Amino acid sequence: MITNTEIENRGNQYPNHITDFKQEKDKLFFTTQNGVVLQITILRNSTIRFRYATEYAFEPDFSYAISENVSLGYDKLSVEEEVSKYIVSTTKVKIHIDKSNLNVRILDVEDVVLSEDELGFHWEENYDYGGNIVKMSKVCHTGESYYGMGDKASHTNLKGKRVNNWVTDSYAYGKDQEPLYKAIPFYVGLKENQAYGIFFDNSFSTYFDFANEKRNVTSFWADGGEMNYYFFYGPKMGKVVEAYTDLTGVPELPPLWALGFHQSKWSYYPEKKVKDIASGFRKRKIPCDAIYLDIDYMEGFRCFTWDKQHFPDPKKMIDELEEDGFKTITMIDPGIKIDRDYWVYQEAMENGYFCRRADGPHFKGKVWPGDCKFPDFTDPKVRAWWGDLYKEMIADLGVHGVWNDMNEPAIMEVPTKTANLDVRHDYDGHPCSHRKAHNVYGMQMVRATYNGVKKFMFPKRPFVLTRAAYSGTQRYCATWTGDNVATWEHLWIANVQMQRMCMSGYSFVGSDIGGFAEQPNGELFARWIQLAIFHPFCRVHSSGDHGDQEPWSFGDEITDIFRKFVELRYQLLPYLYTMFYKYIKEGLPMLQSLVFYDQDDTQTHFRTDEFLFGEQILVCPVQEPNAQGRRMYFPKGKWYNYWTEEVVEGGKEKWVSAEIHLIPMFIKAGAIIPKYPVQQYVGEKELTELQLDVYYTEGIENSIVYEDQQDGYDYKKGRYSLRKFRLRGKENELIIQQFKDGNFITPYDKFKLTFHGLPFTIGTVEVDNEKVNLKDIKLNGNNSIEVGKDFTELHIVGK
């Protein structure tokens, strides 16, 4: 007889020898004598899924992470059987499956090992909860590096680290603290300059050890569920991240105003305070597109209500703010106050929408309103109901966007900071406990919010923001990195978190500028905005406990610096919007770590500070006080100093001056950077021209500019403008070709081209093979000309 103690102490179990193989189209099944089944699915030539079952049986195949629009299809699939192994081949990879123990080795077509099992799949029976703790260990090769994993507050290269994915309200977290607000179990491995990726799609608490416990082993495991992971082969990191992003999805284009500057605080109230903040921006000519209302706009912190003392006429206030160019964003949390007279609570009770404990009672937790109950957002009926709750807020009052906070879910006054593990969830018809649903709870809340806001914002685009996230949440909303701190260390953390999130498929991301907790000094605040204008989501947010954090809170010098950089953000909006277009079309991260930009240069493998904003702007923030500049590394190519136009040759480290009013910022030689005029808010000015900053290079460089109506969905019907520029520079001439696509007619008729680094004096200019009078194109010195926007070829020749 097997006693309970024997089960508890059984320890790790392993597959033994393969006894059966069968193939069903793109799925291959390898079964061992002791009941382990390995299912290999070929999604694409270089995207392979590995799924393991014990006791001969798989769980239902369901995931919240996978996009409905994932690309499928491959060119070749063959299986060969040898004495000791099976060999599965596509046009990109070979997979060896060891017959004796089910271990897997993945190689490229040149037989170079990309990834190989160490112990491989093994499991341990979970005596406390049932099911298995599922484990995978792989060989860590010499020189191998690891990147990605979402919002980890650690060095971009995770070699030597151990991390945990269990979304957690981590107020004032520190460097290397685990876990944080996101659970994105995806990493990119780089071995001998060949990149691959692994996505462990398991929503239980997961753990990754990147050669921390054993220097030659990388492992990952979960507290329950299946060993279910996807393997992506590059060999370039870009291909890996694109494939993962295709699998888990991308958002729709946001309205352009969502890429402007936003101001927030816990909390702006009453109405007069909100209007004072708005007028403060306009009076000081600091651009701003959105103002946020934190929980104090509500009546007793009840979601979907308004405190009529502080906000007697919210619609009138929202309309007046909009007249002045401000969008209004409101916070909604998941906790619903237990109050029999509160209509949201009544509806949820009547329809059975709240989460229950294992034996039937409702789950209760304390949050801002006091004792609350929590909707089960993993139930489709609950999501539909929740989305419809936004009707009054969006359709009737005119709120422009919604911010979901505390959705880990965060619970106060309990050591776990979250719901009890025995809480039950529908999980879209796959009932489970909170152990499995915890990491996706916030994701499903914001999914419901997104669907509701989208319905009631139509025909305009929705804007939604979340704190908690699992892989795939990027399909629904922007995110930020939670309750950070006003310290120089957190400025460093913000930089690495943005790079890491972008490499993890989630580009619409930002930090609380200046820090949420504690109070920055003016220098730190200035250095933070200098970095944050290069983050896709750009918002100041702070705790009211620690003083004011508006741009004018630190004296005139800092206010002027803040204004200068926010104005630069608004000038670069067409460049940023084009970055977003490439992100959703190609899966290209909006920010690129240096290793992503040039993985062949080993100098980039451990750099944390420098990054690419898009593909043509190199940025390196100053991250310590009293600095007059810093050393930074320049990747391959030639780079123009944005402020001085000095040209730096890549492949080396160099000192760059950057006093308090500057950030090291460089433009790739050959780039054509589009700019709008400075506006106080998106749409303030009619665009009469598009400025193109042209950075000369000898050779060829391609640039693109994407534009549309900046809101609405006509772009999906072809009403967009996509301009592709090819610059070809020679010793005494410059040729710019333009290729146009799309049916959108831009409001401007001309380009103003400003030249940087021309090695010759302009002598003649031809537009579409016709010589033009230099006065007609307003040649200004040797620096700029104006030409019609529809040219096909611009040919500039020196004297």
- Catalytic residue numbers, as ranges: 405, 408, 483
Q: Which residues of 242-257 are buried (b: 16+ CB within 10 A; e: fewer)?
A: bbbbbbbbbbbbbbbb
**What length does the chain have?**
799
DSSP H helical segments within 504-587, as ranges?
A: 522-532, 556-571, 573-586
Task: Identify the burial level of 788 via C-beta atoms within 10 angstroms of its C-beta, where 0-12 means exposed, 13-18 middle and 19 or more buried.
Answer: exposed
Reading the block at residue 111, the tokens are: 């037989």
Query: Residue 635 in contact with residue 594, Cβ under 8 Å?
Result: yes
235 cis-preceded (ω within 30 degrees of 0): yes
User: What residues contact 389, with CB distance under 8 A and at least 6 apart?
Assistant: 303, 304, 344, 452
Q: Quick one: DSSP state of residue 396?
A: I
725 phi/psi in degrees, rounded to 5 = -110, 135
Region for residue 127 given its phi and psi (left: phi exceeds 0; alpha: psi -120 to 50; beta: otherwise): alpha
Residue 644's CB is within 10 A of a number of other CB atoms, namely: 10
Q: Using CA atoms, how far apart are residues 665 and 457, in angstroms rounded to an integer?
A: 37
Q: Using CA atoms, how far apart are residues 735 and 767, in angstroms rounded to an integer?
A: 10
Query: Residue 628 in contact with residue 658, Cβ under 8 Å?
Result: yes
Strands 638-641 and 665-668: antiparallel
User: What residues contact 272, with CB distance under 8 A and at least 6 apart?
Assistant: none
Reading the block at residue 625, the tokens are: 């006080």
Reading the block at residue 93, the tokens are: 């990879």
Residues in a beta bridge with 653: 633
> What is the Cα gyration radius of the chain?
27
Q: Using CA atoms, how far apart are residues 296 and 273, in angstroms rounded to an integer?
A: 12
String of DSSP letters for 278-300 = HHHHHHHT----EEEE-GGGSBT
Q: Using CA atoms, how far apart are residues 149 and 552, in angstroms rounded to an integer?
A: 36
User: What residues contact 793, with CB distance under 8 A and at least 6 apart?
Assistant: 735, 736, 737, 738, 766, 767, 768, 769
Query: Residue 607 in contact with residue 594, Cβ under 8 Å?
Result: yes
User: What residues contact 583, with CB distance under 8 A and at least 6 apart?
Assistant: 250, 507, 589, 590
380 cis-preceded (ω within 30 degrees of 0): no
User: What residues contact 652, with CB distance under 8 A and at least 6 apart?
Assistant: 633, 634
The three-state (H, E, C) secondary structure of 649-704, written as one string = ECCEEEEEECCCCCCCEEEECCCEEEECCCCCCCCCCCCCEEEEEEECCCEEEEEE
Q: Using CA atoms, how far apart are residues 96 and 82, in angstroms rounded to an integer?
A: 10
Region for residue 447 given its phi and psi (left: phi exceeds 0; alpha: psi -120 to 50; beta: otherwise): alpha
568 phi/psi in degrees, rounded to 5 = -65, -40
Give Dmax over CA atoms of the chain in angstroms.
Answer: 99
Q: At what angle do helices 488-503 and 522-532 cross, to 10 degrees?
A: 10
String of DSSP letters for 112-139 = -EEEEEEEEEEEEE-TTTSSEEEEEEEE
